[in-house]
Chains A and B, each alone.
Chain A
Amino acid sequence: QETDTITDSLWDELEESLLGADVGPSTTLWLIERLRQRVSDENMRTGGQVQQALREELSALLGKSSSLRFSKQSPLTVILVIGVNGSGKTTSIAKMAYRLKREGHSVMLAAADTFRAAAIDQLQEWGNRVEVPVISQKPNSDPGAVVFDALQAAQSRGSDVLIVDTAGRLHTKFNLMEELKKINKIIQRFVPDGPHELLMVIDATTGQNALLQARKFAEDIGLTGVIITKMDSTAKGGFAFAVADDLGVPIKFIGTGEKVENLMPFEPQNFVAALFAQQ
């Protein structure tokens, strides 16, 4: 007897699993609509077929996997890391530095979060652990000046990757967004094709606000990629579909823990599979 039929409760279940994974109402309703269309166009008969089609649709929204971009013009590649407070920027920078170093790059870090208490110490501590130099100034100094110093240091010491850590900022704060634009301009003065990566870090436990954040950062200074952290949590990071699709910005890495090794290249298939995995 056929039990795997396409029933109302199958649609309800799909809707629930998407909404429950923070995919969000707009994307979820759009996906369900599209699936219903495909079911009739393609004469699907089983729930299994619908599930498979959903996975395809979800993967398509995420786009292809994409690795870090390096400068083709300048010997120095600059990666600017931004995002709201506490999302995991500084830790992700340490993880990227560790990774890049193992791949043979000579990496330098810039401590341009001069605002948060002990943010500089935190990056320095990571720099010690990963054994990469950290350029910093005193707390509360001008972040632009730190970036300027770091660019000079990276060029004179012949580093090939400079990663800039910035203070956490909510996308709604005008002055802080202006400060980022300034940092961006300073980088462009040294390396006209930079920053080569503008990576936004988003916490997987975030809900629908992630999309507002990503949109505003993309509008104000542009984004070349996203890192989703804390994927070792019970959250699924379903906002990623809307972020990747709406903004056309690829997800580059996922963070899966607090250690330097816990950074994985983003794999759309695995991400989609994890969305439906029970924990």
Chain B
Amino acid sequence: MAMFENLSKRLEGIFNNLGGQGKLTEDDVNAALREVRLALIEADVNLKVARQFVDRVKEKAIGADVMGSLSPAQQVLSIVNDELVEFLGGEGVNNKLDLNGAPPHIIMLVGLQGSGKTTSAAKLANYLRKQGQRPLMVAADMYRPAAVNQLKSLGRQLSIPVYSEPMGADPVNICVNSLDFAREQACSVVILDTAGRLNIDERMMSEVVTIRERVRPQEILLVADAMTGQEAVRVADDFNKAVSLTGMILTKMDGDARGGAALSIRTVTGVPVKFMGVGEKTDALEPFYPDRLASRILGM
């Protein structure tokens, strides 16, 4: 069970055997797209999304003229790459946060356990402060041991204020009360760090729904681990249905995960990736660029 070889090598192999001339024929394309589909799944793109994607590529690839400078394999790869960029939001992707209107602007972070919410809260606060905002972080995780201390410690490192309440407080009240605090302290952005939760945990999902109803965040970002596999779609879809996501932060992109989950999430929910987490430190946050993720998914 060897790892998949590089996609471009496999495609070269296929076209060498089939030897399409002049135009790409349907058989050539079908054989090539089977490899593309498997490569996407190997990169953690959801099965159904991979199929949908490959169907779109097929339309573009069949009958495409084989251009002088590109081999058929390179040509298919280039169509795949362009389509990936398109699926991921296109060149002109809107990865900006919505901070219009009167402050304080509220950003809520949600996601599965351990995806990187608390760390991303600190990264975002740090990033927004550099843009001239006055951030407040809110410790709304009352479940994970030392979750409040984790955020407070990050706040101390950055000298950014953290609103918290004693253990046993209600996360909904904490979020509501934090807004008064933000106004008193003239904070312009409030970042809510919520507890990790499973998309199928009804009680915990209804908690974020209530927080949303009570504080009306302008941005609700799903924090998703770049290493996530096939379930990314279901997770994102469930969160999106519950709270209407406005964007996504893709974390742990400093490893060698291909990040296909982001393509799945983007395709199924239409929610744009806004940032990538690229390390554990509080400055390891980058804006999202579709072309970079596309190359990465293709292993190029």
Contact = CB atoms under 8 A, between A and B. Distances in A.
Interface of A: 16, 19-22, 24-27, 29-30, 84-88, 115-119, 121-122, 124-126, 129, 139, 168, 170-173, 203, 205-212, 230, 232-236, 238-239, 242, 245-246, 258, 279
Chain B interface residue bracket vs A: 35 or more
B229 A206 contact: yes
Nearest to B3: A26
B8 interface: no
A258 B143 contact: yes
13 contacts: A26-B1, A118-B149, A119-B146, A168-B280, A170-B254, A205-B235, A207-B227, A207-B232, A208-B43, A208-B44, A210-B229, A230-B198, A233-B200
Interface of B: 1-4, 38, 41-44, 47, 112-116, 118, 143-147, 149-154, 157, 198-200, 225, 227-232, 234-235, 252, 254-258, 260-261, 280
Contacts of A16: 47
Contact of A84 (B47, B199, B255, B258): B255
B256 A22 contact: no
Contact of A232 (B41, B115, B198): B198
Nearest to B261: A207
B41 A86 contact: no
Contacts of A85: 114, 116, 252, 280
A118 B153 contact: yes
Given A85-B280, A122-B150, A20 B145 contact: no
A150 B76 CA distance: 57
Contact of A207 (B112, B228, B234): B228
B-side binding surface: helix, strand, loop or mixed?
loop
Given A19-B230, A20-B230, A25 B4 contact: yes
Nearest to A88: B114
User: Chain B CB within 10 Å — which of A20, A86, A115, A230 has the most?
Assistant: A86
Given A26-B1, A115-B280, A209 B230 contact: no
Given A16-B47, A208-B43, A242-B1, A21 B114 contact: no
B4 to A, nearest CB: 6
B198 to A, nearest CB: 5
A24 B44 CA distance: 9
A205 B231 contact: yes
A47 B151 CA distance: 53
Contact of A209 (B145, B227, B231): B227
Contacts of B116: 85-86
Given A122-B146, A170-B255, A207-B261, A25 B41 contact: yes
A170 B113 contact: no
A235 B254 CA distance: 23
B231 A84 contact: no
Contacts of B234: 234
Given A19-B47, A87-B114, A235 B42 contact: no
Contacts of A20: 47, 230
A20 B296 CA distance: 21
Contacts of B232: 205, 207
B224 to A, nearest CB: 10
A17 to B, nearest CB: 10
